[in-house]
Structure 1
Amino acid sequence: MNTLLTDIRDKGNTVLVVEHKPSVIRAADLVVDLGPGSGDHGGEVVFTGTPEELEEASTVTAESLHQGLSLRDTVRPGRGVLPVGPVTLNNLVDVSADIPLGTLTVLTGVAGSGKSSLVTGGLVGREGVAVVDQSAIRGSRRSTPATYTGMLDDIRKLFARRNRDAGATASMFSGSSRSRVR
């Protein structure tokens, strides 16, 4: 998964991950840690920095990382920022964070600290932002991640271009339309 996330980042995308796994946290260019606890005890940005700097911090997440695993030697610099907030939602009250563009940033913290609230309140619905979460894919019974993300449209167009001499159109490569290809 880390390879996939960094490959997406390396193509010029900004990747923001809400995650607890140490390996994902260590793969990040920047870590934003929320806490200090959960529920009423959360809702604050308690740390922002590199994974290496997090190792030296005094947060619950930092303490969980002290298991002797190695960290990355270099950190990818951002190329601008995506400002998030101020967000007031659930246990967050006027919380803001700057997400560096073109990086893999991990948003972490104890369960209930406000990670998903920050994303939901600050990023969902913004132009140019695609939020992929654990909710069910909506659509027809034929929906797949490729159709849901819009990737399948590009794939169909590519197939049509490659088969232009045969008179192919993009709709010919759709499972839900009538086509000459059977």
Structure 2
Amino acid sequence: ILFGEEGEMVRYRSRYGHVREYFSGYEGVIPRMERLYRDTESEHSRANIERYMVSRVCPVCEGRRLKPESLAVTVGGSNIVEVSSMSVTQSLEWVAGLGGGETILSEREQIIAHEVLKEIQSRLGFLKDVGLDYITIDRPSATLSGGEAQRIRLATQIGSGLMGVLYICDEPTVGLHPADDFRLIGTLKRLRDLGNTILVVEHDEAMMRAADHIIDMGPGAGEHGGWIVATGTLADIANSKESITGQYLSGVKQIPLPAKRRPGSGEEIVIKGARQNNLKNIDVSIPLGKFVCITGVSGSGKSTLIDEIMYKKLAQLFYRSREKAGDCDDIIGVEYIDKVVNIDQSPIGRTPRSNPATYTGTFTP
């Protein structure tokens, strides 16, 4: 049933001229799923098949993806896998050691490696400048947070050295911790200083205060918007009485803090031994019946803890989900909740006819 039976793929041409193929025997569940995953062009179909797939480390190469002969080649006592497993900072130190005064390279090897080492140092330096000095070079892109992926794209643009380009960024600070804002702003300013124009659609205060010119649209949303309320420097926006943005920037309007906090239900959910990605086998207690915020700098493990471990684990318990959850020992206190709902930023609906009314059930009797 799983792997099918012996047979062969038969190719034929249909009456419409299309080349088709079929398996002469029973294909089997696993070969069929692998074929569909390989041939489909639909991201939705691919994501659906991935629910039944699990990534495992190869027992032969132990995840190194290279033959022993390739791993036997070392530079400075380290092979390519060992260098790739270093952080950006450690890699920079390794490269600097090869080109420094106490280099192990011969004079001829230094001449050959000079341009290569210079290029490596330059690209690693871009990653360090955007605050990604802690990540390892071989880290899978799927495990990067939104802020990390965005800063890698920006580092790539800095490395390209292009001039006279108009860069458009749509809310680049979404998902970024305030501590990471200055790195992002510094990167954008560096792109600007190369002779480019940076156009940012944003409502983050730090980004607005760093901008050379601001265009404030409004005054409201929907049919109440669509007008240019104010333009100019930060001071111009703050002095505009018609600008709601300016009123908050100047301090005329403020968001008050709540006078008291909810006591909650007294119960809690405890995640024991969370160790997926960069989590260090931690125990986390989350009180129930409260407004709980999980915060931290970009890449600190917030999404891994909540989305990859807690949500997927609870979805398995409540809805028999087949998605593989992140590694943890146990989740205690599940009996205190009835269901779990993940409200993310994925598109609503699955057809072009989907809209807020159909999604929320407004017209459903």
TM-score by length of 1: 0.40
Structure with the greater relative contact order (CA < 8 A, sep ≥ 6): 1 or 2? 1
User: Which structure dedicates a bigger proportion of its chain to strand?
Assistant: 1
TM-score by length of 2: 0.22
